[in-house]
Structure 1
Amino acid sequence: MKYSSFKEYLNVEKERILDKCIACGKCIEVCTNVKAFNLNEEQVKSLPKKLLNALSGNELSDLVFQWVFGCNHCGRCLHVCPEELDPLIFNNILKTEFLNQGNKRASMVRDHMLDPNSGGFKRTIDIINRLQMQPSEARWLSRIPENPNPVEAVLFLGCNGLLRPDIALSLIDIMDMIGINYVALGGTGFCCGMPAQMIGEVEESEKYMRNLIESLLALKPRTVLYACAECLYVTARIAPNIMDIPFKQDSIIKFIADHLDHLQFKHPQSLEVTFHDSCAHGRLWGDYESPRKILKAIPGVKLVEMKHIRQDAPCCGGTGEMFFPGKGKDLKKMRMEEAKETGAKELVTICAGCELSYLKWEGDKPFGITNIISLLAKSLGIEREHALEPFFSSKDMEGVLEKFITNIESSKYSKDDYRMTLGRFIGVQSKEK
């Protein structure tokens, strides 16, 4: 069934939850928030009914706020509900309730995420991308051309993809090697709407969602390949409830895994690696094998699995930390210890958020953190560096600014803009007084 709007879809889901939820608490039992927020037995026991009461418009308590805005969107709860309800949708509806009732904390979260004057996500992405590259170096569309020719595929880089221009450019190189008729599209002008969805901004989320789908339709693709699994979740799981989507959709990781025979490996890596399953590509999209297929295809790479993998893999904790800093430390510590136990020299990720979360870990880390596309590209003879990686450990703000001074001086942002954004993004503090 198609709904007229995202709001109508959520309203129908709200009524379905109120009608069917039996407050059994199974979704809460599997949630890492219980430990992260140190909830006691009484709080855990009372939470299902508190959440249902809040959904009815009553009792929007601090505990409920903490629970829904601290959600990691990891999907551990998706397959445990005996009534086949979606706890992630439940949480998003509750976020909307907080906003609609004028909750100050919810409004602060919204401003933090969306308001460019207070460091919204679009501005952050633009600054971090601009720090690392000149606009002339981009090899993707940042606007839709008039009357474009139909293409076999669109490689959608999303917003987060531009935080790592080296990854975006390497993906384009790999697509060129595979040799299909495609175009690459990316930038904050084509946001999928997930950031707005995460803070309960229903109408804003729909606006982004529709703009993205309409932009993709204008390029006349048979298939859209997403570099970001969160974008894929939105466009393939949420958007079809309110829009007709005639093209096929999949992750770029799956596409590459299916076309490995088109790639010529030039540089064996002689490397033991371990792999972290991201929540979005794993539990939300259901693809655990494609990344492993890629890793096993790289000459010289040996995959050593951690204790908890696939559907049992822990979340990196990064999403919840956007609103509750430090909340994910136990999840990160657990993953770092599991990775260390494997003896691997690299922890491989496929998600920009997971990689950022682990790069910021300041505890014992006797291995590198690398994106699967970086490792694949290197084995194919594509040499690009993650320009910011050294500064996660050195914490040398002035070193960052000095390295990228040419890009900084030719951009519309001031040096102070870069200082402030980098301080939030990678936890680097300036040495200037």
Structure 2
Amino acid sequence: MSSDVSFEAAVEMRVNEMVDACTRCGKCVEACPSVTPAGLADAAPQDVIGGILDILRDGDGPEASRKWAQACTLSGECIRACDEAVNPRFLLAMARVAMAKAKNDLSSRRKQALEKYRELGRDVAVLTQIQLNDEVLVRLGQKSASVSTTTEPPDFVFYTGCNVLKTPHIALLALDIMDRLGIRYQVMGGPSHCCGIVHMRPGDVEMSGRMGTNSVDKLSQSKSGQVISWCPSCYVQFTETTLPALERQRGARPFEMTPFMRFLVGKLDRLTPHLTRRVPMRAALHRHPGVAGVMEAAETILRTVPGITLVDLNQPALGLQGVNLSVLPQFKRELTLNEFQAAREAGIDALITVYHSEHRELCAHERDQPFRIVNLLELVGMSMGLGRHDRYKELKLMQDADQIVADCADLIAKHALDAAKAREVVIKGMLADQPVPLRSGGGP
């Protein structure tokens, strides 16, 4: 494929191939866990997917199909259900792009994307800087390290994405574990290495391609040709949109991308000898199965930690990560409350998160529930003798923006942040990131 083909044209070619391959059998709709909560249980599956193809062709289609596209939580069940090598999740994402294009002109879409990108950059910067000093920020690939190059290519590039930096103890534990295993890596991530999803969602495909391609070129530095990724949203954006488009433009993929949990379980023979300390705990895994194999890897790793007893709460596992369920807010609340009730009845000691978004959303509920809410890597770290304080949870449990800003005053001053603007970010980006309200007054 010629590099003269634009990114947007390369994406459109892939869409058209899948549209032609789709038989409209409706299996993807039948498998989708969003259909019933979105109010589409009575819609004919064949008509719903047929309407998606109409939207992809001209930006318009029946209401049921539009609702289905908007209700996608990226669970990936549609991919597993398809027999035609079509990726319905990708088609739904492109249907949302087509609807955005039909609704707004390019100038409006680009403005909307730019505002979202700036908001993301501000929130990530503030919530990270009120927790970390410059030395740790550099370790996470921020500051000068974000543009640095090593004298010798690393074995792997570890790509954080953006939002895990808000809960930095998770990302730092990933690095600590790799250090202990003797893995050579370079850290990249943050808004300066954007995957392009922020521009893709409002329908600015070409700018999304520029952002994603720029990041891909930065990430293409490892000896192994492997990028270890943390963020599931970035993983889906890169592997289902950006990298396939670049492969069409350039004739080859610059690298392969592996989710961190799948990478870590692949090193289980090296990890197990380091899991020497018992972590006596009855725990349940909070599951989001959107990236194939990640939850299975997480469970395998947890079962390897001595002392942990895994309890199955028999709750639905849906969505790519916690934030993706927000398109169905009432359904998300019901799922969360049901899981909490099941956890209380099972008498667990801890509910274990895998990704950062649900950790941000759920961690303050530790105040109201008779169990802890911790990230999987915290337990692995405990068994390895590694520890990172969950400063994000500590701050969020305060539930008071003024108290949080006062408690972070030293770092706010050191990073020359505006305290009033930091307070705004704390309110909107931390305290409001709470899909299920806390109990008034606190305490279980």
TM-score range, shorter chain: 0.7 to 0.9
Contact 2:73 2:318 in 1 (8 A): no
Matched, 1:73 2:83: no
Contact 2:90 2:241 in 1 (8 A): no
Q: Which residue of 2 aligns with 1:253?
A: 261
Displacement of 1:133: 1.0
Displacement of 1:271: 0.6
Q: Which residue of 1 aligns with 2:122?
A: 123
SS at match of 1:370: strand
- CA–CA separation in structure 2 for the residues paired with 1:185 and 1:389: 24
Q: Structure 1: which amino acid aligns with 2:335?
A: L
Q: Structure 1: which amino acid aligns with 2:324?
A: T
Q: Which residue of 2 aligns with 1:383?
A: 387
Contact 1:129 1:163 in 2 (8 A): yes
Displacement of 1:91: 1.5
Match for residue 203 of structure 1 among 199, 206, 217: 206
Matched, 1:285 2:288: no
Q: Structure 2: which amino acid aligns with 1:123?
A: R
| Structure 2 residues not aligned, in runs of 5+ | 434-444
Displacement of 1:75: 1.1
Displacement of 1:394: 4.5
- CA–CA separation in structure 2 for the residues paired with 1:360 and 1:33: 27
- Larger mean Cα displacement after TM superposition, 30-39 or 90-99: 30-39
- Larger mean Cα displacement after TM superposition, 59-68 or 12-21: 59-68
- Larger mean Cα displacement after TM superposition, 61-70 or 337-346: 61-70
Match for residue 272 of structure 1 among 282, 288, 299: 282
Contact 2:141 2:188 in 1 (8 A): yes
- CA–CA separation in structure 2 for the residues paired with 1:240 and 1:112: 24
SS at match of 1:77: helix
Displacement of 1:216: 1.7
Q: Which residue of 1 aligns with 2:440?
A: none
Going from structure 1 to structure 2, the CA distance change for 1:14 and 1:219 (only over 3 Å counts) comes to closer
Question: Kindly, what percent of the aligned residue pairs are identical?
Answer: 23
Q: Structure 2: which amino acid aligns with 1:371?
A: N
Q: Structure 1: which amino acid aligns with 2:310?
A: L
- CA–CA separation in structure 2 for the residues paired with 1:153 and 1:146: 13
Q: Which residue of 1 aligns with 2:324?
A: 319
- Superposed CA deviations along residues 248-275 of structure 1, whole A, max 9, x for unmatched, are 5322223333434355345422111111
Contact 1:314 1:335 in 2 (8 A): no
SS at match of 2:187: strand
- CA–CA separation in structure 1 for the residues paired with 2:59 and 2:159: 41
- CA–CA separation in structure 2 for the residues paired with 1:256 and 1:324: 32
Displacement of 1:40: 6.4
Q: Which residue of 1 aligns with 2:34?
A: 33
Contact 2:161 2:229 in 1 (8 A): yes
Contact 1:141 1:184 in 2 (8 A): yes
How do 1:83-162 and structure 2 match up within 5 A? 83-103=84-104, 114-115=114-115, 120-138=119-137, 139-142=139-142, 143-146=146-149, 148-162=151-165
Matched, 1:354 2:358: yes
- Superposed CA deviations along residues 323-378 of structure 1, whole A, max 9, x for unmatched, are 66556223323433444443321111221123233336699743222111122112
Going from structure 1 to structure 2, the CA distance change for 1:200 and 1:39 (only over 3 Å counts) comes to same
SS at match of 1:132: coil
Q: Which residue of 1 aligns with 2:169?
A: 166
Q: Structure 2: which amino acid aligns with 1:285?
A: A
SS at match of 1:289: helix
SS at match of 1:302: strand
Matched, 1:305 2:315: no
How do 1:19-58 and structure 2 match up within 5 A? 19-39=20-40, 41=42, 47-57=48-58
Q: Which residue of 2 aligns with 1:398?
A: 402
Q: Structure 2: which amino acid aligns with 1:296?
A: R
Match for residue 294 of structure 1 among 279, 286, 301: 301
TM-score of the pair, normalised by structure 2: 0.81
Q: Structure 2: which amino acid aligns with 1:245?
A: R
Q: Which residue of 1 aligns with 2:333?
A: 329
- CA–CA separation in structure 1 for the residues paired with 2:239 and 2:373: 29
- CA–CA separation in structure 2 for the residues paired with 1:246 and 1:53: 33
Aligned pairs, how many? 419
- CA–CA separation in structure 2 for the residues paired with 1:15 and 1:422: 43
- Superposed CA deviations along residues 157-198 of structure 1, whole A, max 9, x for unmatched, are 221221122122222222221113322223221122233334
- CA–CA separation in structure 2 for the residues paired with 1:145 and 1:362: 39
